Amino acid sequence: MGEGVSGAVVPSRWAPAVEQLPGELAELVGPVRGTVTLPLHLAWSGLRTFDLGDEKLLLGMYRIVLLNGQYEDYARYLDGMLLVSQWPVLRKMLGRGVRAAWEDRFAALRPAAAA
C-alpha cells in the first residue's frame, strides 16, 4: 500500500480488490485431494492440471488462484483450512500486495498467528 497525492492510502494495483476477498475462510470450500484443472482465465500459460497430493503442485495452484482469481475462483479452488496450513510457505511466493490483502482480512494468516 502506498500513499496517494492527498496522503490517503492507495491500495496496491497488484492486490486483489477487497470486495473480491471472501468474508470468512469458511467460504473457501475447494478440493483438498485429487486432481484439479484450472480454467484458462486463471492458468493461461503453462501447467493447468495439479495433483493436490504433491505439495509443490498444490502450492503452485494456490499461487495461481491467489494471484489471478476473483471471489468465485477463491471459493471454488481454495480450501480455508488448507490455505491456513500452507500459508507460511505460500506467503513467500506472493507479491506484497496479495499477501497484505489476505493477511489484513484474515488474522489466521498473519505471521504472528502462526507463532
Q: Can you state the angle between helices 96-105 and 55-68, rounded to 10 degrees?
A: 90
- Backbone φ and ψ of 90, nearest 5°: -60, -40
Which cell goes with 41? 482465465
CA 72 to chain centre: 12
Q: Helical H runs in 7-95?
A: 55-68, 71-77, 80-90
Average pLDDT over residues 27-35: 98
CA 1 to chain centre: 17
pLDDT value of position 113: 57
The domain ranges of the chain are: 28-114
- Are the beta carbons of 32 and 41 closer than 8 angstroms? no
Integer Cα distance of 55 and 21 in angstroms: 24
What pLDDT, in 10s, does the model give residues 52-109? Answer: 999 999 999 999 999 999 999 999 999 999 999 999 999 999 999 999 999 999 999 9
Q: Is residue 112 very low, low, confident or very high in pLDDT (cuts 50, 70, 90)?
A: confident
Average pLDDT over residues 30-48: 95
Average pLDDT over residues 19-26: 92
At 113, the amino acid letter reads A
Residue with cell 506467503: 91
**C-alpha triplet 20, 21, 27: angle, nearest 5°:** 115
